[in-house]
Structure 1
Amino acid sequence: MFTLTVLKRLSKIPYLLRISKRLRHYYRNMDCTELQPPSSVRGMNVLQRAEFQKRIQIPRLKVPESHVQRVIPLVKKLLLKMEHLQPVRSVDSGREILLHPLPVKSWQSLPTEALEKQQVTEDNFCHAELELNYENWSANEILKSVLPANEEGLSSFSRIGHIVHLNLRDHLLPYKQLIGEVLRDKLPNCRTVVNKATTIDNTYRNFQLELICGEPEYQVETKENGIPFEFDFSKVYWNPRLSTEHERIVKILQPGDVLYDVFAGVGPFSVPAAKKRCHVLANDLNPVSFQWLQHNAKRNKCLPNIQMYNTDGREFIVKELREDLLQRWRATADKAYSIHITMNLPAMAVEFLDAFRALYTTEELAELPEHLIYPQVHVYAFAKGEDTKTLVRQLVESNLGVVLDNELQGISFVRNVAPNKDMYRVSFELTRQLLTTPKQALRKRAAEEQDECSEAATKVKCV
């Protein structure tokens, strides 16, 4: 069933365009045995394009040139749509219209009454041979016909400029060269195909890549939410699947707001925020990421709004963030704006949360107004298990050293990473008490609160 949201979106699409798109894909080619690649290609692990040649009988209409414009609307949903194949083409006696063999078995399969009104009869209908080859199938259709039928196929991949980035499962590794060649052949502007070689376990958190097809050119240009970025994909971290999440955070920000980006990368949070005239402090430990962060800030003409640092995330918090936030509180305590801290390093960002504990002394904040604008932290984390949302909350609370209550602003699902492994954004507000409480006392408070929760749960269970 359509949701109300989907119906509202559809209502904005012109009616004829919706009908055209629906009819374009009315019949799936891979549901028709005749239109599938030859069965002999199953299991091929070295791409042999000539093996995809196939001759089949296809229904067709031959009509005079003067009748084409009136006949096409009558058979539009029955046209044969394949890659590099014109369903309407010129022949000596006029035009030939290729029809899909799944719905069209004979003349009676067509809207005969309407066609006869246009002086098109059974004499105009016939079956004739058509040669198909490698060029006529999409990448998905080729791979579906080649890869093992009883295993999961190539479910997804990422496009970053001219690079296609794969994360192949073990059973697909024998076919990696073929997969790379097919994608390079079929995807527009694809010159390089790489596979994620290992898990991300190095200091700078960039992918370890294996070139499986094409040119070893890793410097790319891409756009995310209308903002151009440039970087060396082999030396920095970039995931196009996070573009929606980047956009969500940037939309929260208003001109004049403050963003501290602890793990900024090449700038997917920081650069759009600075371009939006927010005050941004952006940091990344990877010197290559830092260089491209500077480059992207300059390219997007937002240098006046951004300060950039190349240091460890913890050092950035306890030094640059600490000093800048204190100065802002002293200078703009009575102004209305919001402060945000992004920590997008989901494999380990939670380990840096304890840096906020006792970030200031009680005496430092005593001289400031009671009601300050406290930062909202958006920390990203992975959780693996059954109830991942509960697990990720416990992970954050454990590293922060406090049970989040009124401070918690939300736990948002970002994406599924692997079976039973999800990525979340946990948003919470830093408080005066958290920012000034010594670590040991904070741990004690968290333990006491957890004990209270356990005791209350026990009482409820007994009742």
Structure 2
Amino acid sequence: MLEALRVACYTLTHNRWYFGVRASLDFILLTSQPCLEYTPRKLIHLHKHLLCTERTEDFIDLKQYFKFSSSLRSLRKNMDVSLLLPPASVKGMTDLNQELFQKKIVVPHVIVKNSKINSALKCLKKHLLKIDKLKPVRSDDSDPDKRVVLLNPLLVRSLEDIEEDFGNICNEGDATFLSKEITLSYENWKAEDILKAVLPDNQEGAQSYSIIGHILHLNLREHMFPYKALIGQVFLDKIPNISLVVNKTNNIDSTYRNFQMEVLAGAGDTLVTVKENGCTYSLDFAKVYWNPRLSTEHERIVKKLKQGDVLYDVMAGIGPFAIPAGRRKCLVWANDLNPVSYDALVKNCATNKVKDRVKCYNLDGHEFIKSVLKSDLLEKWQDSDFCNDIHITMNLPAIAVEFLSAFVGLYHNVEGIPHNPTLPMVHVYMFTSDVAEDIALGMVAEHLGYPCYVEQMLHKGDEPLKEHTMAGDEQVENNTEQSSKTKSQNSFGGLRQYVQEVVNIRKVAPNKIMMRVSVRLPLEVLLKDADTIEEPPCKKIKEL
């Protein structure tokens, strides 16, 4: 381990070793090899710490890892990490040929009497050769009273490597240490090992995928297209319970939230049943939107709801917000423009026994807000017995923020509004180019009629001076680059006081971040005269 770390120093005062946290490539490769089946938990912890730390001035106490240093040093010196990986000759293969994955290797093994096999396995557990569909313990063809135990050649090169644990059994003559040749084949490697061996080096591959029922969904980059048939077949062969592998061929349609796909391998329809957060959903994956990677976010929002709360789900899809909310005994108004999503929503409400608490609509989002939501919210405000919270979810990241303008002036000149009504909490999703809060908040501010600049234009003579901008022009970009990654103090004309949180949901693609802004809908926005709303200040300022 001393040889695998770049910086080391010894402090006599504290009588401990401290190591710089920047690891060499040797150490990273060593501890991350998939063929190293046995890795001590403490070593895994250390590896994660090293990968997550970038500053060389950070130090960690590695005294607890000393007992692994000897074996690591020996392993690094002697191992060929490619030994248990697919043959290098398959690199660049576009048509899958399983026969070309055959590889002969020499592995150490011990022959043990049946009477001693349990003791032997206890001693050799961490040294066993563990590869898919390869039994490390097998009968000895030449002697039925003995067993052959295959050992990992990366961990064991000679009897000395196991003598400390296994020496007593060998000394008693109950075991023999030998080497033998075995043949590995396509069936012995995982999908990730095969794809890493085949696909081009130093390029983003096809390791990321989603599983929806019996469908495995990929979103391959263009440079992977020549290998897409092979990629599909490998996943079909290696991932259990999968009968269809598809690849997205275009962006998600903003109207109905579905996309075109191509079949890479397998056969069958796209009707699936999935489970998420205790609910069951049936859907046609080719016609509606479903992303299992959003399950945590769905749960995060639902946990904000209490029994008796109200949820207006403007872009409900098949119900990942609406149905769990109904199960929490909330009152839900769920809407989706896609007729196929609407049908699935109605069916899923019945399946999960919440149809008496979830009302479903098939309307445009603007129309839903200006009719159904407007009418029911006013009733809630006028009900003196209603004392629960009100939430609005708008999960259509491509355009959801644009629907915020439907709330501007929604109750202008409407009678019967109480003096201090319960303001709805809006959870609106969007795509941004950066994780900076100002970008997401600026988008919300613009569509609610607030200024996108905290400081208005300041004039010194005839030259305008720009203080802070939402997106950042070249003139101020360098000054705000460092602060753009932190929480902003920009007020956006007073909107910030209503903001509960800004959350980075996930990175969809380079320069494409899915964000959520949770904000109380200001009463001044709802009562504003929509006919007098001027062009958003951010646009006007850019023209000056």
Contact 2:169 2:175 (8 Å CA) reproduced:
no
Between 296-305 and 32-41, the greater mean CA deviation after superposition? 32-41
Contact 2:112/2:174, CA 8 A, preserved across alignment: no
Choose which of 113, 116, 127 in structure 2 pairs with 1:67: 116
Give the structure 2 partner of residue 439 of structure 1. 530
Structure 2 counterpart SS, 1:35: coil
Pairing 1:130–2:182 present: yes
TM-fit CA distance, 1:216: 3.9
Distance 1:192 1:431 in 2: 48
More helix by share: 1
- Asked if 1:341 corresponds to 2:392, the answer is yes
Q: Write the letter of the residue equivalent to 1:432.
A: L
State the partner residue of 1:421. Answer: 512
* Structure 1 residues 254-273: aligned runs within 5 Å: 254-273=306-325
In the alignment, does 2:333 pair up with 1:285?
A: no
- After TM superposition, the runs of 4+ consecutive aligned structure 1 residues lying more than 6 A away are 24-28
Displacement of 1:22: 4.9
The count of aligned residue pairs is 425
Percent identical among aligned pairs is 47
Shift of 1:84: 0.7
User: Within 2, Cα distance between the matches of 1:113 and 1:202?
Assistant: 63
Contact 2:274 2:280 in 1 (8 A): yes
Q: Deviations over 1:59-88 (max 9, x none)?
A: 111111221221212221111111111112
2:194 is aligned with 1:142:
yes
* Distance (whole Å) between structure 2 residues aligned to residue 282 and residue 21 of structure 1: 50
Within a 5 Å distance, the mapping from 1:235-246 to structure 2 comes to: 235-246=287-298
Compare 200-209 and 47-56 and name the one that shifted more: 200-209
Give distance in 1, aligned partners of 2:317 and 2:382. Answer: 30
Quick one: which amino acid aligns to residue 399 of structure 2? Answer: M
Report the Cα distance in structure 2 between the residues aligned to 1:210 and 1:443, rounded to whole angstroms: 46
Letter aligned with residue 72 of structure 1 = L
Q: Does 1:224 align with 2:276?
A: yes
For the 8 Å contact 1:154–1:168, the answer to whether it is kept is: yes
Can you list the C-alpha shifts for 1:440-461, whole angstroms capped at 9, x where unaligned?
55548x749x98xxxxxxxxxx
- Give the distance between the partners of 1:390 and 1:216, measured in 2 at CA: 46
Q: Name 1:352's counterpart in structure 2.
A: 403
Q: Could you tell me how far apart the structure 1 residues matched to 2:292 and 2:310 are?
A: 25
Which ranges of structure 2 fall in alignment gaps of 5 or more residues?
Answer: 1-36, 45-71, 451-491
How high is the TM-score relative to the length of structure 1?
0.87
Post-superposition shift, 1:166?
A: 0.4
Structure 2 counterpart of 1:381, from 415, 430, 455: 430
Q: Distance in 2 between matches of 1:139 and 1:267?
A: 33
Kindly state the Cα deviation for residue 401 of structure 1 after the two structures are TM-superposed.
Answer: 1.2
Q: Deviations over 1:44-67 (max 9, x none)?
A: 100111111111111111111221
Compared with structure 1, are the counterparts of its residues 114 and 123 closer, same or farther at alpha carbon in structure 2 (3 Å cutoff)? closer
Match runs of 1:30-41 below 5 Å: 32-41=81-90
Question: Shift of the alpha carbon at 1:132?
Answer: 0.7
- Judge conservation of contact 2:102–2:185 (CA < 8 Å) in 1: yes
RMSD: 2.4
Partner of 2:374: 322
After TM superposition, the structure 1 = structure 2 runs for residues 133-212 of structure 1, keeping only pairs within 5 Å, are 133-201=185-253, 203-212=255-264
Q: Distance in 2 between matches of 1:183 and 1:151?
A: 19
> Separation in 2 of the partners of 1:138 and 1:68?
29
Matched, 1:396 2:444: yes
Q: 1:410 maps to which residue?
A: 501
Aligned partners of 1:74 and 1:115 also within 8 Å: no
Q: CA deviation at 1:224?
A: 1.1
How far did residue 303 of structure 1 move? 0.6
The letter of the residue matching 2:446 is: S
Q: For 1:264 and 1:120, how far apart are their aligned partners in 2? A: 71
How far apart, in 2, do the equivalents of 1:186 and 1:268 lie?
Answer: 30
Asked whether the equivalents of residues 191 and 238 of structure 2 are also in contact (C-alpha less than 8 Å), the reply is yes
> Deviations for 1:398-420, whole angstroms, at most 9, x for unmatched residues?
11212312111111110001112
Deviation at 1:362, TM superposition (A): 4.1
TM-score by length of 2: 0.74
The amino acid across from 1:439 in the alignment is: A
For 2:424 and 2:441, the matched residues in 1 are separated by 19
- Secondary structure in structure 2 of the residue aligned to 1:406: helix
